[in-house]
Structure 1
Amino acid sequence: MTSRVYIMRRTRDLEEISVNNSLSVVFSSFNGEKTLRTMLDGFCRLHPPEASWQLIAVDNASTDSTRSILDAYQDRLPLVIIEENKKGKNNALNKAIDYVVGDLVVFTDDDVVPNENWLIRLQASAKAHEDYDLFGGQILPRWPVVPMPWLMSDLPLGMLYAITDPRWETGEIDVGNIWGPNMAVRKKIFDMGLRFSTGVGPDGSETYMMGSEGDFTRRLGKMDMKAWFCRDAIVEHLIRPNQMTQEWVLNRFFRHGRSSYKYDHLRDSATPRLFGVERWLYRKIVDSLVNIQYQRLRGDVNAVFKAKAAYYHLKGQLYQAKREKAVSV
């Protein structure tokens, strides 16, 4: 029997739609006008998956032309536009879950361009591998200009830009290697009550903690859920010029440092502390500053930047450690 659900369209009218064998694609946008048109044009070129699908766009308290851009595509895409005024990507994704239809929920970002067969490949993977609950595919970079040597000198592009490792082949993969721009989850996971944690992920601030989807996939891993990687399900990540600057990259390391301290078992209650923070963290920061000066004396500009990146990562850990100490007091 075909089930039915009611969803709210832009006009606030209720429309009845069939959800038999359908899927939902979800993304959030906060001031996404710089990439949104390119992204939505890419979705217009998609080969539609089997049966019906809908694209749920959450305007997350944007102050630019995001909403008007979304409105302009209503006649070209099966678009459902909703609003979440509380800033935070995960707040927006959680709200969208109430609107999804079908057995598969595909998550992406407002700065990707999907391959024409993207949804077909993800849906086929989900059908072929019924004992898996999480699916992902390749995320390739679309650079606006040729990257500078310092950016390509062994920096972790996966952490910086969510670019997947080109060596990954189709098959089972660690749940932690399914990333936000290209992630599909069986709806039954959300029917169990799971949601995205709202204390992590983009929230409009410069110092937010990275890991919005990472926190979610960690919890799925602890529940023994399995992930499948489909190499042919491809999206391109639109890299903006400002994201290729050293300032942006260093801030990214800082935010990832916050996440590392929280999730990577760096905390140890038995470790000696100074001002409530593990002493080893202060020691590592001092060593990192010394290494920056050493690399400057050597004259290796790429090594200098890598040393700065390591320092900013430690600064992020220290920032998170102090925040957690303040909360616990």
Structure 2
Amino acid sequence: MSVAICTWNRADLLDKTLRRMASMRVPESVSWELIVVDNNCTDHTQQVLQRHVGALPLRIVTESQPGLSYARNRAIEVSQAEIILWTDDDVLVDEHWLTETLAAMRGLDAEVCFGSVHPWWETAAPPWFGDCLAGRFALYDRGRGAHLLSEAGQSGYGANHAVARSVYQRLGGYRTDLGVVGDKGGGGEDTELVMRAIAAGVRTAYAGSASVRHFIPAERCRKRYFRRRQWRGGSSQYRMLTQAGGGRRTILGLPAYMYRQHTREMVAWLFSNIRADRARAFQAELKLISFASLLRTAVFARYDTCTGKRGKQNPATDVNYQSPETLSEGPGDLKSVSHIRPLSASDARRG
């Protein structure tokens, strides 16, 4: 098995992640390696990695193309294992994390597996936090047991998931027009892969005992952070929506049901505020921001299609698009490539 971490400028958190990784209990019968992909780090990441070379079965790899999807695909290329178990550079794994994941995949004959993700708060949970917002913090808990998942909406997050090499052989890697680039981007590369996998009939499991704790810095406990993130995610959502296709009736390029759905969210936002239910009110607000961003992207895309011109700031096609100043984190370029880099037969070696 290969454990893989993609990292960008989180040297101190990565150090804690690797220290905890060294305390895992792995049976001698299980052969494993730890691949860390340095995605253009400019801090002291390399010094941290060198400190852990003797304590872990560490392979240090570099990926010069910025972007989490490129880094993930690089890890797939260098791995020779049958299963790649992914986590992040700001995660503390349980001592039985690897063995519980492997046991669930074998026991349920699954090719994809998600584990539970619990909070590692830097300070404390914000006063408006509630269970309905757990997914916004990439937290995921469906109990302690292990079972199969029947649809993509039940799946977890990139901080704790495993994928068999056979899946990458059949479906290709992570879409490079999705995913985080540095501190920008809306993510979604892991979700999109799981959508493809489940659509292709891949058995997908959940293993509650394969647990991790995910670092949540104080800055992510501010509402403004989530508002910005939801606005930035419109282009990624639109790409996934257009790929999914379907014969539904559309209005301005979006399925008609979405307008009904978000009318209900408007009502939910109103009544949640009346009831002073801060968590549900904020959840509804974020869904409305997300829809507004998605609608904006769809309108730009339709304009380009009708005129045959590419707008200078088309969120659907311009990878350097930045959100409005009121929601943006500041200037910067998003560099991405709108294609999936598939694996060749020579890349897809089994270990």
Check whether TM > 0.5. yes
Question: Percent identity of the aligned residues?
Answer: 24
> The residue matched to 2:4 in structure 1 has which SS?
strand
> The residue matched to 1:156 in structure 2 has which SS?
helix
In 2, Cα distance between the equivalents of 1:304 and 1:284? 16
In 2, Cα distance between the equivalents of 1:281 and 1:309? 15
Which of 63, 88, 91 in structure 1 is aligned with 2:70?
A: 91
In 2, Cα distance between the equivalents of 1:278 and 1:188? 34
1:309 Cα deviation (Å)?
Answer: 2.1
1:60-82 residue CA offsets vs partner (Å, 9 max, x unmatched): 11222222222221121111111
1:257 Cα deviation (Å)?
Answer: 4.7
Which residue number in structure 2 is paired with residue 31 of structure 1?
Answer: 9
In 2, Cα distance between the equivalents of 1:97 and 1:237? 23
**Structure 2: gaps spanning 5 or more residues:** 309-351
Which residue number in structure 2 is paired with residue 174 of structure 1?
Answer: 150
Q: Which amino acid in 1 is paired with 2:200?
A: M
2:220 paired with 1:243: yes
In 1, Cα distance between the equivalents of 2:151 and 2:257? 30
Asked which structure has the greater RCO (Cα within 8 Å, sep 6+), the reply is 2
Q: Which amino acid in 2 is paired with 1:315?
A: A
Which residue number in structure 1 is paired with residue 189 of structure 2?
Answer: 212
Which of 285, 298, 304 in structure 2 is aligned with 1:321?
A: 298
2:287 paired with 1:310: yes
In 2, Cα distance between the equivalents of 1:51 and 1:78? 13
Report the TM-score, using the length of structure 2 for normalisation.
0.74
Which of 35, 48, 56 in structure 1 is aligned with 2:26?
A: 48
In 2, Cα distance between the equivalents of 1:185 and 1:39? 21
> The residue matched to 1:235 in structure 2 has which SS?
strand
**Structure 1: gaps spanning 5 or more residues:** 1-22
In 2, Cα distance between the equivalents of 1:327 and 1:77? 51
Q: Which amino acid in 2 is paired with 1:171?
A: H
1:280 Cα deviation (Å)?
Answer: 9.2
Q: Which amino acid in 1 is paired with 2:141?
A: D
1:253 Cα deviation (Å)?
Answer: 2.8
CA contact 1:281–1:318 (8 Å) conserved in 2: no
Q: Which amino acid in 2 is paired with 1:157?
A: A
Distance 1:291 1:75, change over 3 A: same
Q: Which amino acid in 2 is paired with 1:88?
A: G
Distance 1:135 1:327, change over 3 A: farther
1:312 Cα deviation (Å)?
Answer: 1.9
Distance 1:132 1:287, change over 3 A: closer
In 2, Cα distance between the equivalents of 1:281 and 1:171? 31
CA contact 1:257–1:312 (8 Å) conserved in 2: no
Which residue number in structure 2 is paired with residue 112 of structure 1?
Answer: 91
What CA RMSD, in Å, does the superposition of the two structures yield over aligned residues? Answer: 3.2
CA contact 2:144–2:209 (8 Å) conserved in 1: no
Moved more, 286-295 or 64-73: 286-295
CA contact 2:143–2:208 (8 Å) conserved in 1: no
Alignment map for 1:169-208 (pairs within 5 Å): 169-174=145-150, 176=152, 177-192=155-170, 194-206=172-184, 208=185
Q: Which amino acid in 1 is paired with 2:167?
A: I
CA contact 2:112–2:163 (8 Å) conserved in 1: yes
Which of 230, 246, 249 in structure 2 is aligned with 1:253?
A: 230
CA contact 1:210–1:258 (8 Å) conserved in 2: no
> The residue matched to 1:180 in structure 2 has which SS?
coil
Q: Which amino acid in 2 is paired with 1:320?
A: T
1:249-308 residue CA offsets vs partner (Å, 9 max, x unmatched): 2223334554444435699885343xx778998999899889978987x59482664453
Paired residues in the alignment total 300
Alignment map for 1:18-167 (pairs within 5 Å): 23-49=1-27, 50-129=29-108, 131-152=109-130, 154-158=131-135, 160-167=136-143
Distance 1:118 1:301, change over 3 A: closer
In 1, Cα distance between the equivalents of 2:40 and 2:157? 24
1:114 Cα deviation (Å)?
Answer: 0.6
Distance 1:197 1:43, change over 3 A: same
